[in-house]
Amino acid sequence: MEEIKRPIVYMCFSTDIIHSAHIAIIEKAKALGNIVIGALPDEIIASYRRFPIVPYDERVALYKNIKGIYKVIEQKTWGYKDILRELKPDYLVHGDDWKEGFQKPIREEAIQVLNEYGGKLVEFPYSKDKKYDELDAVFRRQLATPDMRRSRLRKLISMKSCINAIEAHSGITGLIAEKTTVYQDGKAYQFDAMWLSSLCDSTIKGKPDIELVDMTSRFRTVDDIMEVTTKPIIFDGDTGSLTEHFVYTVRSLERMGVSMVIIEDKTGLKKNSLFGTEVKQTQDTIENFCAKISAGKKAQKTKDFMICARIESLILEQGMEDALTRAFAYVKAGADAVMIHSRKKEPDEVFEFTKRFREHDKVTPIVVVPTSYNQVTEEEFKQHGINVVIYANHLTRSMIPAMKKTAETILKNHRSFETNDMCMSIKDIITLIPEE
Ligand code: SPV
Ligand code: MG
């Protein structure tokens, strides 16, 4: 009875390892009352930091077993508003690191809510010990290992139901995909995965997107990206080539830690889909393409690797019935996901496909590449039952005009002075990539 009457001391934890700094804070907080720990869900931790190594249930068990913890509950949002209003703790304990930087608005909101009912904020000095950064680096390296990286795409899809991926074609674009974070309305946003586009991998090499850049070179790009990132990779496998070749591609990608390969149901000389019917393109037969999918599924060694069948019927103007017939046949042949491609300015045909596909299949993930109908938001795609949204070419397309402008400015002025404001400073560029 005595225990229950003590003040409630609330702390939020997102850590997947308990180290001496946590213990030190807990020791101090204990003096204030009964400690209640709020555990953040995996999805929220991944949105502002990195994917947790220890899953939610195990983290809760870990926190419960810390000596002196009264209770562990779920904190469903990154911000403290809801949990503070619900629990009304006497004290909110936090490290003082959130006074500045991206957590500042979260702190301000928490103070406001504490003031509503007379709760107090207690801030302890945040431990800046280098060894904790090293521990985090060890965890990040763990996330980058092939097994952990490969399996994460499936986990993310089931966790969030709709995920996004951005194109990456080099180490630096991989880093942009990995690290870019936006804070908005008390939430953090990051990309979930990376798309290794054949269009962009070819464009970067000044080559057309016709399966000319060979697999050895494409794998080299994957390796460059993997070396500096941890997020899952979706590989654009074009037509998958001959079935006899595709099985080797599947094994190589799987071994490297790629999560998903997407192959399109075209045959012969492949041209980029955004040309549509303006160029000659041949769709494969359902029978052949199903055989390719099945052979790929048989070749893979893990249960995590995914083969996604990309349907080109709408691109090639073969109609909705053809697209749906193919989708069901490909899933039956073993496809783990389907991608429906369209180059229309409106999403209507994609939504019609999704609606009719979902009448018969509620589970197979649907992938879209909204390059031409890019007015649609991720939330709308999610409402329509779409699971993966790929921004397929945006880093390449934004980079080229910037570089062209710089080149033209130098030629026009016969010196580079006028490009100063267009360029990153030398100091910034040399410190952009820290040495390990
Ligand atoms: C790519 O990014 O290479 C693609 C998508 O295959 S698209 O260019 O829209 O065909
Ligand atoms: Mg492509």
- In SS3 terms, 291-311 reads as HHHHHHHHHCCCCCCEEEEEE
Strand order in the sheet with 91-95: 69-74, 34-39, 8-13, 91-95, 120-124
Are 122 and 32 in the same domain? yes
pLDDT of residue 21: 85
Ligand 1 centroid–CA 198 distance in Å is: 7
Question: Number of folded domains in the chain?
Answer: 3
Which residues are near ligand 1 (CB < 6 Å)?
A: 197-199, 236, 272-274, 369, 371, 392-393
CA quadruple 141, 142, 147, 150: dihedral, nearest 10: -60
- Which CATH number characterizes residue 308's domain? 3.20.20.60
The ligand 1 atom nearest the CA atom of 198: 3
Question: Under a CB-based contact definition with an 8 Å cutoff, are residues 330 and 311 in contact?
Answer: yes
CB neighbours of residue 351 within 10 Å = 21
- Would you say the pTM of this structure is higher than 0.75? yes
Ligand 1 centroid–CA 83 distance in Å is: 44
Residue 243 lies in a domain: yes
Q: Could you tell me the pLDDT band of residue 189, with boundaries at 50, 70 and 90?
A: very high
Domain that holds residue 403: 398-432
Q: Could you tell me the pLDDT band of residue 128, with boundaries at 50, 70 and 90?
A: confident
The best mutation among 236, 343, 397 to test binding of ligand 1, ranked by most ligand atoms within 8 Å of the C-beta, falls on 236
Question: Under a CB-based contact definition with an 8 Å cutoff, are residues 238 and 263 in contact?
Answer: yes
Residue 138 lies in a domain: no
Task: Read off the tokens for 214.
Answer: 């060979």
Are 92 and 170 in the same domain? no
Return the H-helix or E-strand segment holding 190. strand 187-190
Are 162 and 82 in the same domain? no
Burial class of residue 334 (count of CB atoms within 10 Å of its CB; 0-12, 13-18, 19+): middle
- pLDDT of 4 strictly over 60: no
Are 222 and 313 in the same domain? yes
pLDDT of residue 127: 72
Give the pLDDT mean for 126-141.
83
Angle formed at CA 54 by CA 335 and CA 93, multiple of 5 degrees: 135
Are 264 and 319 in the same domain? yes
Are 104 and 171 in the same domain? no
Q: Nearest 5°: phi and psi at 12?
A: -105, 135
Domain boundary among 105, 133, 161: 133
Are 372 and 425 in the same domain? no
Active site members: 209
Are 104 and 152 in the same domain? no
- Which CATH number characterizes residue 28's domain? 3.40.50.620
Residue 141 lies in a domain: no
Rounded Cα gap, residues 218 and 245, in angstroms:
15
Are 39 and 76 in the same domain? yes
pLDDT in tens, 321-359: 999 999 999 999 999 999 999 999 999 999 999 999 999
Are 341 and 381 in the same domain? yes
Give the pLDDT mean for 271-298.
94
pLDDT of residue 136: 86
Rounded Cα gap, residues 428 and 60, in angstroms:
40
Residue 386 lies in a domain: yes
Residue 139 lies in a domain: no
Return the H-helix or E-strand segment holding 403. helix 394-413
Q: Could you tell me the pLDDT band of residue 3, with boundaries at 50, 70 and 90?
A: low
Are 89 and 159 in the same domain? no
Are 310 and 179 in the same domain? yes
Please list, residue by residue across 389-408, b when 16 or more beta carbons sit within 10 angstroms of its beta carbon and e when fewer do.
Answer: bbbbbebbeebeeeeeeeee
The ligand 1 atom nearest the CA atom of 393: 2
Name which residue sits closest to atom 7 of ligand 1, judged by CA: 273
Rounded Cα gap, residues 251 and 307, in angstroms:
12
- pLDDT of 1 strictly over 60: no
Give the pLDDT mean for 76-101.
95
Give the pLDDT mean for 227-252.
98
The best mutation among 166, 169, 194, 198 to test binding of ligand 1, ranked by most ligand atoms within 8 Å of the C-beta, falls on 198
